[in-house]
Amino acid sequence: MSTPDARRRLPPASRPLNAKFILPALTEATDPYWRPIKYSLFPPLGLATLAAYLSQDDRAVIVDEHVEPLTLDDAPDLVVIQVYITNAYRAYRIADHYRERGAFVCLGGLHVTALPDEAAGHADAIFLGPGEQTFPQFLADLRAGAPQRVYASTMGRTLERVPPIRRDLIRRTHYLVPNSIVVTRGCPQHCDFCYKDAFFQGGRGFYTQRVDDALAEIDRLPERHLYFLDDHLLGDRRFAESLFAGMKGLRRVFQGAATVDSILRGDLIERAAEAGLRSIFVGFETLAPENLRRSNKRQNLGRDYKQVADRLHALGIMINGSFVFGMDEDDDDVFRCTVDWAIENGITTATFHIQTPYPGTRLYARMMQEGRIVTDDWTLYDTRHVVYRPAKLEPEVLKEGYDWAYREFYRWNSIACASLHHGTIKHQAKHFFYAAGWKKFEPLWDMIIRARQLTRVTPLLEAVLSRITGDRTEQRPQPAEPFPILTSDSVDQSASC
C-alpha cells in the first residue's frame, strides 16, 4: 500500500515524543469467546525495556492487545510494534494504519529479524536482533531528524547500564504473573529448531546481567512470586550461583527454565531450590536419540530423563515438560509413548507441540531445501498446525495425535496417576491441584480475567509453590558427576568465532 514519505512523519525535535508501544494479539486472543489464561500470564517486558530509553519528558504507553483493546484513533509521534510469527499480519495492518495517520513506525522482534525484507515494507525503521544497543541510537537519530531504515544489533551487546524496566507502564492487574523478569539474553545451546541463533546472529548469543543489577530488579518487585522468562536460567553457572546466593533468605518463590544437562550437572539445581525455585520448564522434546541428533539438541543426548524427573521431585520442584511431535523419527507410537512416560515419571504439566520450522532456523532452511514446507501462512505457525510434510506420519495423524496427547495427559485419571509418583501425600496434593488448576478450570480463569481480578490469585499461586515442610519420604539427591561446564568466557569465545 502507498504511504506518506517517512521524512514528513518525523516528530518535531523541539518537543517531547509521544510514543506508543504495541504487542499485537493473535486472532484467538481477541475473540470474545476465547480468552485462555496463557495469554494473560506475562506482561511485554521487551517493550517496557525499550521504553526505559525514552527521555524523562517523553510520554509513553504500552498496549498489550492480548489483555486490552487497542485504540487506533489516536495520533502518536512514534509507534513501536513487537512482531512474532503468528501476529505478523496483524502487526503489519496496525503499522500500515499508523503510517497513514502520520506516525513514525518501527517494527522489531523475532519475525522481523527472520524476514526483514517482508517487514520493511510496513515500517519506517526495522530492528534486527535485541534492541538494548540499537534503540538508544535510533532515538538519538530520530531526534536529530536522520533515522536509519535498518538497525542491526551486532557487536557490543551487553546488559550493563541498561536502565530499569518501565514497569510503571505495565497494568499489573491484567496479568497472573506481573512479577516476570529476564536476567539473561539468549541461550548457549544451538538447537536447529530454535529461533535463537538467527535472532542473535552477528554478536554474542548468550550473556547476563550483573548480579547486583538482577537482585536490584528483584528487590523492586512486590510480593513473593517471580517468574524468570530466561531461555536458560542455569546457562552460566557462575552467574546463577551468585544470583541464587543473593536470593537465598529473601523468601521468594520462583519459576524458570533450564536444560536437561544443567539439571544433572553438579549442585546448581540444589542451590536454585534453596533460593526458592519451585517449578521449572524442561525441554525434553523427544524420547528418540536420533531425533535429538538430527535437531542438534546434543545437550539431551545420553542423559537419563528419569534421573532428571527424580532429582527435581526430590527437591520439591514441579516440572513443566516440553515435548515435540512430528520429528523425522516419529511414527504412530510417539504420542502414546510420550504421554505414558510423562505420566509414569510424575511430570506436573506438559506442553506439547507439533514441530514447527520457523523462518530463520536451520530446520526451516533444511525443510525448504527438501521441498517439505507446505504453507507460508504465518498464522498457522503456532505449533498446533502441521505446516510441513512429516517424514513418517500423515499430517492428519500428526494433528490428531497432538490433540489426543493433550486430552490424555490432562484427564482427571492421568493427573491423579502422575501425582502418585511423589512420596508424600502433601506432594501428591500439590501436584494434583496445580495441574488441575492449570488445565481443568478454563471457565473460571475466563471469569477472573474478564473481572480484572488475576492479582487476587497470586497469593494462592504463592501458597501452592511454597516449600512443603514436615516429614518427607523423598530424599535430597546427591550431586551428579560433573562434566565440563559452559562459562561466560567460553560463550564469549564461541560467539566471536
Question: C-alpha grid cell for residue 282?
Answer: 524442561
Question: C-alpha grid cell for residue 427?
Answer: 506432594
Pairing of strands 104-108, 349-354: unpaired
Question: C-alpha grid cell for residue 11?
Answer: 516528530
Helix (H, G, I), strand (E, B) or coil at 29: helix
Contact 74, 47 (CB under 8 A): no
**pLDDT for 424-462, tens place per residue?**
898 999 999 999 988 888 888 888 888 888 888 888 888
For residue 119, the one-letter residue type is: A
**Mean pLDDT lowest among 14-18, 30-34, 390-394, 489-493:** 489-493
CB-CB neighbours of 425 under 10 Å: 10
Query: What's the mean per-residue pLDDT of the chain?
Result: 89
For residue 12, the one-letter residue type is: P
**pLDDT for 212-232, tens place per residue?**
999 999 999 999 999 999 999
**Mean pLDDT lowest among 19-33, 175-189, 452-466, 481-495:** 481-495
Q: At what angle do helices 334-344 and 395-409 cross, to 10 degrees?
A: 20
**pLDDT for 137-150, tens place per residue?**
999 999 999 999 99
Reported confidence tier of residue 11, pLDDT bands at 50, 70, 90: confident
Q: Which residues contact 181 (CB under 8 A, 6 or more apart)?
A: 45, 214, 217, 218, 221, 226, 227, 228, 229
CB-CB neighbours of 258 under 10 Å: 25
Would you state the pLDDT for residue 8? 59
Count of residues for the chain?
A: 497
**pLDDT for 78-131, tens place per residue?**
999 999 999 999 999 999 999 999 999 999 999 999 999 999 999 999 999 999
